[in-house]
């Protein structure tokens, strides 16, 4: 997958994008990641990317010209343009899976008071990582890149890992244990030591249902709605 990021703060990506799974994905050529400075598409000596909002009000707004020029230069027919914005659709695992199916993502990182509204005419997906406001869209872009990259074939040591994680089926993941079997009086459930794969699977499903019901009942409601739609 090819991913381009348009940002005013390219230095923020140094470090997080060069570690762990993301580093290995790039080394394996599963991910081709390029961080681009939006100011490279300006034409004045001050490299101006923002201006005052029409109608007045606080703050500055990102101008349309450099964003349009950048997208027109970088995008192809297969490109999916993703805007990171507090006004966007909540970013969910299902959206990460959808984005992972595409050959090329172009991520737009917001800043200041946001984008000139006309930029949205170029956008395929507008995403938010939560109901809060950050300094700019760099951190949300990193979250999207991380979540999508993990789903690319061959990136994880075991591709089945991503299929069993939290949110994969609108359920939180079941409890996990490792050695020792008894730690300070806290014992691993006997079923996990039984070797009965059917019983283990049933226990995990029950635990996932219970944990989701207690912590994220909204996910169970959405899962039920999705199942009903599929019938």
pLDDT value, residue 225: 76
Q: What is the dihedral sign for C-alpha 213, 216, 220, 221?
A: positive
How far is the C-alpha of 2 from the C-alpha of 35, rounded, in Å?
Answer: 11
Q: Are residues 118 and 175 in the same domain?
A: no
19, 20, 21, 25: CA torsion to nearest 10: 50
66 and 99 part of one domain: yes
In a domain, 11, yes or no: yes
Rounded Cα distance, 196 and 182, in Å = 20
Can you give the pTM of this predicted structure? 0.89
Same domain, 118 and 40: yes
User: Per the structure, how many domains does the chain have?
Assistant: 2
Check whether residue 19 and residue 101 sit in a common domain. yes
pLDDT confidence tier of residue 80, bands split at 50, 70 and 90: very high
- The helix (run of H) or strand (run of E) holding residue 6 is strand 2-7
Report the pLDDT value the prediction gives residue 161, as an integer from 0 to 100: 63
pLDDT band at 226 (very low <50, low <70, confident <90, very high): confident
CATH number at 85 reads 3.40.1280.10
Neighbour count for residue 28 (Cβ, 10 Å): 11
pLDDT at 164 over 70: no
Q: What average pLDDT does range 3-21 have in this prediction?
A: 97
CATH number for the domain harbouring residue 211: 1.10.1270.20
Cα 182 to Cα 227: distance, rounded to the nearest angstrom: 39
pLDDT at 192 over 80: yes
Q: Is the pLDDT of residue 158 over 80?
A: no
Structure tokens at 199: 């019983």
Decide if 156 is inside a domain.
no
Is it the case that residue 36 has pLDDT exceeding 70? yes
Give the residue carrying structure tokens 């703050």. 59
How far from 45 is each of 39, 40, 64, 69, 71, CA to CA, in Å?
Answer: 11, 11, 18, 17, 21
Q: Which residue has the tokens 């950048």?
A: 70
pLDDT of res. 120? 98
| pLDDT of amino acid 163 | 59
Q: Read off the pLDDT of each residue in 145-173 and give the average, rounded to a whole number.
A: 81
pLDDT of residue 43: 96
Structural domain boundaries enclosing 42: 2-149
- Residue 41 is assigned to a structural domain of this protein: yes
Output the pLDDT for position 169: 79
165 versus 35: the higher-pLDDT residue is: 35
Could you report how far apart the first and last alpha carbons of the chain are, in Å? 34
Q: Is the pLDDT of residue 188 over 70?
A: yes
Q: Are residues 134 and 28 part of one domain? A: yes
């Amino acid at each position: 997958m090819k991913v381009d990021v348009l940002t005013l703060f390219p230095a923020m990506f140094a470090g997080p994008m060069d570690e762990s799974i993301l580093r290995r994905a790039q080394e394996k050529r599963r991910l081709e990641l390029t961080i681009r400075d939006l100011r490279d598409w300006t034409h004045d000596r001050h490299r101006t990317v923002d201006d005052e909002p029409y109608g007045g009000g606080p703050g500055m707004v990102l101008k349309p010209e450099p964003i349009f020029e950048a997208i027109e230069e970088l995008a192809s027919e297969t490109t999916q343009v993703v805007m990171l914005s507090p006004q966007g659709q909540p970013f969910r695992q299902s959206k990460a899976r959808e984005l992972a199916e595409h050959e090329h993502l172009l991520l737009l990182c917001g800043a200041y008071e946001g984008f000139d509204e006309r930029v949205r005419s170029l956008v395929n997906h507008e995403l938010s990582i939560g109901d809060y406001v950050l300094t700019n869209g760099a951190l949300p872009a990193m979250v999207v890149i991380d979540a999508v990259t993990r789903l690319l074939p061959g990136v994880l040591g075991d591709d089945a890992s991503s299929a069993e994680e939290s949110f994969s089926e609108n359920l939180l993941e079941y409890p996990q244990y490792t050695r020792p079997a008894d730690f300070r009086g806290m014992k691993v459930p006997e079923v996990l030591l039984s070797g009965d794969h059917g019983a283990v699977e049933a226990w995990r499903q029950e635990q996932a249902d219970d944990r989701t019901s207690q912590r994220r009942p909204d996910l169970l409601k959405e899962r039920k709605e999705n199942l009903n739609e599929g019938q």
